Amino acid sequence: MADRERLGVIFGGQSVEHEVSVYSAQHVAEAARERFDVVPIGVTKTGVWLTPEETERQLTRDDEAFHKTLESPEESGILARTEALSVLREIDAAFPLIHGVFGEDGTLQGLLELAGVPYVGAGVAASAIGMDKALMKRFLRQSGVDVVDHIVVRSTLYRAGGDEIAAAVEASIGYPAFVKPANGGSSVGISKVHSREDLGRALCLAFHHDRKVLVEQAMDAREIECAVLGNDDPQASPLGEIRYQREFYDYEAKYLDPNTELIVPADVSDDTAESIRELAVRGYRALDCAGMGRMDFFLTHDGDVYLDEINTLPGFSPTSMYPLLWQHAGLSYADLIAKLVDLGKERHRERADG
């Protein structure tokens, strides 16, 4: 019997989505053991890489879901303990599960490229563009995909003239609106604003997470999601819909509120579903995504469709929307993981062959 491949599951990281990453990774590691020898590679909140043995010990702690963190007494940064990086020489492929900055934004992908390790998901460029909502929306609009009206505000400009920024928002976007960090995830740092007073507070909160912020028109629409899988011939899943009782789909609604519903399949007409699925693939190809992407849409009551975001590294627990959509299509959680690893290795071979 041939030796099983060693799959490095890299998770944790320095972003505000650290706990979400750990939660996803625990489930991926468990399911992946059906096919792979799993090598857990934890990254602490200060950026220190842990050995697989250290990672395993931290995972054995009995912590509540979405509250487990990885810790180290070492100083911060990837160079604090370079010996832990040597594990990259010992794995056959990697499944990056670090959400947010320094994981989903192309930086980790660049490290794996330099190390010559095949990995799951989008490459450096697609990851970077997908992470930066301002760049992503500009890219999509130039590719002929409708996105919600928005303006981009940088912290230096806001400090120089807050009233001017507010006037520009009111003239072009109006209220209600959403204020969100350009680079971020899990709705951390996002606010819904209804007035100029709200806007100032929301901008200050968002600037705490990023120097670049979007102010975006609030849509009265259903929130529809589609999972895309593949490299050069991507396939779109059935659609799902998110329903929640909070004012918007914030961190609490995503991970902690039992009243939030993920409805699969979404109750839309066949024509609408096909149109959204085609848009999902078009957006995926526009960014040159690879492996996977969760495409988040707004569907208005008039039938208009807007692509809100492309998530190149979506949440990946068995109850996350991306795996749920493919499970509905007949692809099990474990088989989905194996398929993504195969796609990553395929992309790696193509790069090596030039």
Provide the token pair at 60. Answer: 């054995």
Beta strands in the chain (DSSP E): 6-12, 37-43, 93-96, 150-154, 177-181, 191-193, 212-217, 221-230, 235-243, 261-263, 291-300, 305-311
Instruction: Please compute the mean of the pLDDT values over residues 94-121 and round it to a whole number.
Output: 95
150-172 confidence digits (pLDDT tens): 999 998 877 776 788 888 899 99
The chain-wide mean pLDDT, for the chain, equals: 90
**Distance (Å, rounded) from C-alpha 98 to C-alpha 242?**
23
**Residue carrying the six token digits 């495409």:** 295
Residue 262 has pLDDT above 60, yes or no: yes
Q: What's residue 114's pLDDT?
A: 95
Alpha helices in 146-246 (DSSP H): 155-160, 162-172, 196-207
Instruction: Please compute the mean of the pLDDT values over residues 107-131 and round it to a whole number.
Output: 96
Q: What's residue 254's pLDDT?
A: 59
Contact 235, 260 (CB under 8 A): no
Q: Name the helix (H) or strand (E) containing 333.
A: helix 333-353
Is the pTM higher than 0.85?
yes
Instruction: Please compute the mean of the pLDDT values over residues 348-354 and round it to a whole number.
Output: 84
pLDDT exceeding 70 applies to what percent of the chain? 95
Q: What's residue 249's pLDDT?
A: 57
Q: What's residue 63's pLDDT?
A: 79
Instruction: Provide the 3-class DSSP secondary structure of residue 264.
Output: coil
Q: What's residue 83's pLDDT?
A: 86
Q: What's residue 330's pLDDT?
A: 97
Residue 1 has pLDDT above 60, yes or no: no
pLDDT bucket at 61, cuts 50 / 70 / 90:
confident
**Distance (Å, rounded) from C-alpha 263 to C-alpha 276?**
16
**Residue carrying the six token digits 């180290």:** 72
Domains of the chain: 6-119 (3.40.50.20), 130-146+220-353 (3.30.470.20), 150-217 (3.30.1490.20)
CA angle 141, 289, 327 (to 5 degrees): 110
